[in-house]
Amino acid sequence: MVKRELKEEKDAATEGSPSAPEGPEGLVPLSEADWQRLDRIVLFRRAEQLADYLNNYREGPQWSHSLLKRDRVFRLFQYCQQLELLRQEGFPGIADARRNPEARKRLRRLATLLHRISQILALYRFTPGLGVEEEGFRVMWRPIAVEIVGGRATVPPGEAPYVQTVLELAVAGRLNQVRRCEALECGRWFATTINKKVVCSDACRFRKYQAKLEVKEKRKKYMRTYFRNPRVKARLKKKRDALQT
């Protein structure tokens, strides 16, 4: 009842006004679309920061894959990506899992992913805080307890912002904004809002295109050599004669 009265008062106040009501000192409040646009901008910046973090495991021209695979933030990122794929396929119910072996397998996979994510998140202890940025306010979770074992912190404090970033992207359904470049001899992580973009730069786009041309040329060369083989010629001739008869 109260909500209805508030809505009626708001409609009555805005009825007949050509523009949005002004706030303090003549400031026009942001619309819902503007807030959504700001949220997308903030999430994209978080995605860029996460990509920079993952690129820290690059040692010169090579990647340290063994260190990257052991990184908690990277493993959390991977598990959340796999969980998103399961969500898109549809979570199976208990009744379906009893009758369908494939649904039972997916349900077991879901439980495994949630368990692994919970194991990683259980290492962190946070306290909420409020941050101010150009786009507005942001809730920040700061680590409050870090266990020390053998003189070393089991959870480095610098991981906390990236853990928060992974969770924010997962909740918003934007984990696919952080990708790995598919160009040959690159493999850098980058952030993008374009679904079809698979390379991090124009140079990598040309390198990928050139690699595709080289593969086509190798394929053409192989097929020319293949069809010049006397045994292949004889087999093809035999097939053509069989079709003509």
Q: What is the mean pLDDT of residues 34-48?
A: 81
Per-residue pLDDT, 117: 93
Q: What is the mean pLDDT of residues 97-121?
A: 85
18 by DSSP, 3-state: which? Answer: coil
Distance from C-alpha of 141 to C-alpha of 46, rounded to nearest angstrom: 14
The confidence band for 230, taking pLDDT boundaries of 50, 70 and 90, is confident
Residue 3 in tokens: 């909500």
Q: What is the mean pLDDT of residues 178-196?
A: 87
* 40: amino acid identity, one letter: R
Residue 156 in tokens: 């480095």
In sequence order, the 6+-apart residues with CB closer than 8 A to the CB of 124 are: 143, 155, 159, 160, 163
Domain regions of the chain by residue span: 35-198, 201-245
- 156 phi-psi bin (left φ>0, alpha ψ -120 to 50, beta other): beta
Dihedral sign for Cα 124, 130, 134, 135, please: positive
Residue 83 in tokens: 């969980």
DSSP 8-state class, residue 105: H
Per-residue pLDDT, 40: 81
205-229: pLDDT as tens digits: 888 887 777 777 777 888 888 888 8
Strands (E), the chain: 58-59, 62-63, 126-133, 136-143, 148-149, 152-153, 178-180, 189-191
* 215: amino acid identity, one letter: V
One CATH from 1.20.81, 1.10.3300, 3.40.50, 1.10.3470 for 35-198:
1.10.3300
Q: What is the mean pLDDT of residues 124-131?
A: 81
- Residue 162 CA: distances (Å) to CA of 30, 54, 77: 29, 10, 10
Quote the mean pLDDT of the chain: 76
Distance from C-alpha of 243 to C-alpha of 245, rounded to nearest angstrom: 6
Per-residue pLDDT, 127: 81
End-to-end, the C-alpha distance of the chain in Å comes to 88
Q: Are 46 and 181 in contact (CB under 8 A)?
A: no
Residue 201: pLDDT above 70?
yes
* Degrees to nearest 5, angle at CA 73 with 68 and 74: 40
The confidence band for 95, taking pLDDT boundaries of 50, 70 and 90, is low
54-82: pLDDT as tens digits: 888 765 444 556 667 678 888 999 999 99
130-161: pLDDT as tens digits: 877 766 777 777 776 555 555 555 667 678 88
Q: What is the mean pLDDT of residues 14-38?
A: 56
Residue 7 in tokens: 């809505």
Report which secondary-structure segment, H or E, holds 235.
helix 230-244
